Amino acid sequence: MSIERANRIEQEAADWLARRDSASWSDNEQQAFDNWLQASSLNRAEYLRMEHVWEESLRLKALGAGLTSNRPPPAGRWIFSALMSPRTQFPSRPQMLSSIRFRVAAAATILLIAAGAYISAVGIYERGRYSTPVGKVTRIAIADGSHIILNTDSLIRVSLTAKARAVELRRGEAFFEVAKDPLRPFVVTAGSQRVIAVGTEFSVRREGSDAEIVVTEGKVRVEAGGPGSPIPPESLPAGSVAHAGQSGMLVKTEAVAMAEERLSWRNGVLIFHEATLADAAMKFNRFTSHKIVIRDPKVAEMRISGTFKATNSEAFVRLLEHGYPVHAEVTGGETVLESH
Amino acid sequence: MDDPLETWFKREVLSQEGALLRYLFRVWPRRDEVTDLRQETYARVLEAAASSRPAQPRAFLFAIARNLMADRIRRERVVSIEAVGDIDELHVLIEEVTPERSNIARQELKRLAAAFDLLPPKCRDVMWLRRVQEKSQKEVATEMGIKETTVEKHVSKAVRLLAKYMLGDSSSGEQTQSTEIAQEGNEHRTRQ
């Protein structure tokens, strides 16, 4: 306990935050950061303090309403106009397409994969149907030693045969911990998307005929548009977040730890990093029949960070009312958020 | 049902930092140790609240700070009990004050704006581009014609200063605060 230690911890916490915010954040750095956090509650508390301030600083946007200049207004001048106006404006955010590699099909490659497996299959080891109601997350063990975690309001059909392992995601989202079996690839179908793994961990979320895929371990192959599609199949390593649809696939690569965070629903929590309220509300709404409704575009574009219990959207709404220029109106079976 | 620990800590504990610092400055004789006391109080609160959240966070926070000081007095024997003043002052009733919600939000915005205006000019420009214009650190570097590592240093400095200005108290002890801020400003200018 010393003054030097206190200053050092404060400095380190701020440095970690700035480092995490930079473009080059590697798995090694994540490891070092985790070690630093684990080393002492002093570190953890001080980091939370910096993170809180960083998150709060995003509300500068509310004060900078309508100011699109690249330079901040002179100190003291700009505050009043923004605070005095009854409605705070949130300028819309430019699309961050630069950070995403956008890939569209080029060659017309037709692949016939594993289709024959179903026909020649002899012994059926398991054929089952699993579902979760709204608000529940369930972990299922299937016959080949794999595990599946079903998110809220999801439905899958599992078919294990001597030569193939097939899961059809009919609705919702599922995370797969696939047992190694090189002779029987593990194939997940979601709409017209197919995701193929041997032994690995990944999640698939169905969105109509499209699918969102997050890979946290090993590699999976994705056939966007399903077999026979002109889009060439693509191999995704751990840390990939992909959106596969009819016209192609968008792939984003993140540190594995960040990809893991997207799957925090497995533990019943939702983690947001500067997510729009529209996005956050959509994620909460999957866990409850009492929906959060946002019609006000200003509210939809506000951003939030934090960790929340997935089933406790009331607490989330209370927090918003507390810290944002947002008013919640409960009418019938829904909560409507409006700016004030 | 409890909130996650981190969310709870940010909302219930960090919001009391101003009051906590005022309290520590009042009762602890060595002012330069207050940051250390504050950090250790937070660490203890975080550990103690991990299993279940206290019903009265503010009272809980102050009780932990009080125990910590008592521990140090016992262990170090450097600080005399007299120096800490009447021990009963440590037991002063901490009321759970909850101002109206809309007021809190507005006050927090004002405080954020005021804190932002106190940042050194370069830090302020970096934070504006990064948080209001939502440019990446790399884009900020290009925009300002400085190195990416310099942007990162500005972010680190900005967040540290903002924590001090926003969470620390602005209503009392204004004298000492503005002096410190002036010093920081000078320091920054001379380095440029």
Q: Are residues B164 and B111 in the same domain?
A: yes
d(CA B53, CA A295): 35
Best mutation target, A54, A57, A81, to test chain B (most B CBs within 10 A): A57
CA distance A304 to chain B (A): 12
CA A191 vs. chain centroid, Å, equals: 20
Whichever domain contains A133, its CATH number is 2.60.120.1440
Which domain covers residue B9, as residue numbers? 5-91
Please tell me the predicted confidence (pLDDT) of residue B30: 83
Under DSSP, the state recorded for A324 is S
d(CA B84, CA B102): 38
- For residue A326, give every residue at least 6 positions away whose Cβ sits within 8 Å of its Cβ, in sequence order, or none: A277, A299, A302, A320, A337, A338, A339, A340
d(CA B86, CA A1): 24
Which has more pLDDT, A248 or B62?
B62
CA distance A59 to chain B (A): 7
Tens digit of each residue's pLDDT (9 = 90 or more) over A294-330:
999 989 988 888 778 888 888 888 878 877 888 899 9
- Contact B43/A1, CB-based, under 8 Å? no
Radius of gyration of chain A (CA): 23
Please tell me the predicted confidence (pLDDT) of residue B11: 86
d(CA A263, CA A201): 11
Q: Are residues B45 and B85 in the same domain?
A: yes
d(CA A294, CA B107): 25
Give B79: exposed, middle or buried? Use CB within 10 Å, 0-12, 13-18, 19+: middle
CA distance A61 to chain B (A): 5
Q: Are residues A67 and A172 in the same domain?
A: no
Please tell me the predicted confidence (pLDDT) of residue A9: 96
pLDDT-based confidence at residue A63 (cuts at 50, 70, 90):
low
Q: Is B34 a member of any domain?
A: yes
Tens digit of each residue's pLDDT (9 = 90 or more) over A23-60:
788 889 999 999 999 999 999 999 999 999 998 887 77
Q: Are residues A234 and A279 in the same domain?
A: no
Say if the ipTM goes beyond 0.85.
no
d(CA B11, CA A309): 15
| Average pLDDT of every residue of chain B | 76
Q: Is A105 a member of any domain?
A: no
Tens digit of each residue's pLDDT (9 = 90 or more) over A254-277:
888 888 888 988 888 888 888 899
Q: Is B96 a member of any domain?
A: no
Q: Mean pLDDT, to the nearest integer, of A189-207?
A: 90
The residue from B91, B122, B144 where one domain ends is: B91
Angle between the N-to-C axes of helices B34-48 and B17-27, in degrees from 0 to 180, rounded to the nearest 10: 130
CB-closest option in A14, A23, A93 to B156: A14
Q: Is A134 a member of any domain?
A: yes
Q: Are residues A321 and A295 in the same domain?
A: yes
Q: Is B42 a member of any domain?
A: yes
Q: Which residues of B touch A325 (CB under 8 A)?
A: 105
Whether B164 has a pLDDT exceeding 50, the answer reads: yes
**Residue closest to A292 by CA, chosen among A266, A269, A326:** A326
Supply the DSSP string of A131-190, one letter for each residue.
E--TT--EEEE-TTS-EEEE-TT-EEEEEEESS-EEEEEEESEEEEEPPP-TTS-EEEEE
Whichever domain contains A276, its CATH number is 3.55.50.30
Do the bridges between strand A303-309 and strand A201-207 make them parallel or antiparallel, or are there none, so unpaired?
Answer: unpaired
Q: Is A91 a member of any domain?
A: no
Q: Is A105 in contact with A231 (CB distance < 8 Å)?
A: yes
Residue carrying structure tokens 């019903």: B55
What is the count of structural domains for chain B? 2
Q: Is A70 a member of any domain?
A: yes
| Average pLDDT of every residue of chain A | 79
Tens digit of each residue's pLDDT (9 = 90 or more) over B86-130:
444 444 434 434 444 445 566 677 788 888 888 999 999 999 899
Q: How many CB pairs under 8 A join A and B?
A: 186
CA distance A67 to chain B (A): 9
Q: Are residues B166 and B87 in the same domain?
A: no
Question: Percentage of chain A with pLDDT > 70?
Answer: 81
CB-closest option in B4, B137, B157 to A21: B137
Which has more pLDDT, B150 or A160?
B150
Please tell me the predicted confidence (pLDDT) of residue A97: 30
Q: Are residues A55 and A155 in the same domain?
A: no
The residues that bridge with A212 in the sheet, in sequence order, are A205, A243
Please tell me the predicted confidence (pLDDT) of residue A104: 28
Q: Are residues B63 and B111 in the same domain?
A: no
Supply the DSSP string of A24-81, one letter for each residue.
---HHHHHHHHHHHHH-HHHHHHHHHHHHHHHHHTTHHHHTTT---SSPPPTTTHHHH
Q: Which residues of B touch A80 (CB under 8 A)?
A: none
Under DSSP, the state recorded for B145 is T
What is the count of structural domains for chain A? 3
- Contact B112/A63, CB-based, under 8 Å? yes
Q: Could you tell me which chain A residue has the CA closest to the CA of B119?
A: A75
Whether A116 has a pLDDT exceeding 60, the answer reads: no
**Residue closest to B106 by CA, chosen among A66, A338, A85:** A85
Q: Are residues A123 and A142 in the same domain?
A: yes
Helix or strand run (H / E) with residue A10: helix A3-21
Q: Are residues B74 and B150 in the same domain?
A: no
Which domain covers residue A55, as residue numbers? 3-84
End-to-end CA distance of chain B: 51
CA atoms A234, A235, A239, A244: torsion sign: positive
Give A85: exposed, middle or buried? Use CB within 10 Å, 0-12, 13-18, 19+: exposed
Under DSSP, the state recorded for B29 is S
H-type helices in A191-312, by residue range? 256-262, 277-285, 297-300
d(CA B120, CA A61): 19
- Contact B131/A323, CB-based, under 8 Å? no
Q: Are residues B70 and B108 in the same domain?
A: no
d(CA A152, CA A136): 5
Q: Is A231 in contact with A249 (CB distance < 8 Å)?
A: yes
Which has more pLDDT, A107 or B12?
B12
Of the listed ranges A82-86, B68-72, B165-169, the least confidently predicted one is A82-86
Residue A328 CB: number of other CB atoms within 10 A?
14
Q: Are residues B108 and B180 in the same domain?
A: yes
Q: Are residues A218 and A327 in the same domain?
A: no
What percent of the residues of chain A are helix, what percent strand, and what percent coil, each to the nearest 5? 30, 35, 35
Q: Which residues of B touch A83 (CB under 8 A)?
A: 106, 109-110, 113
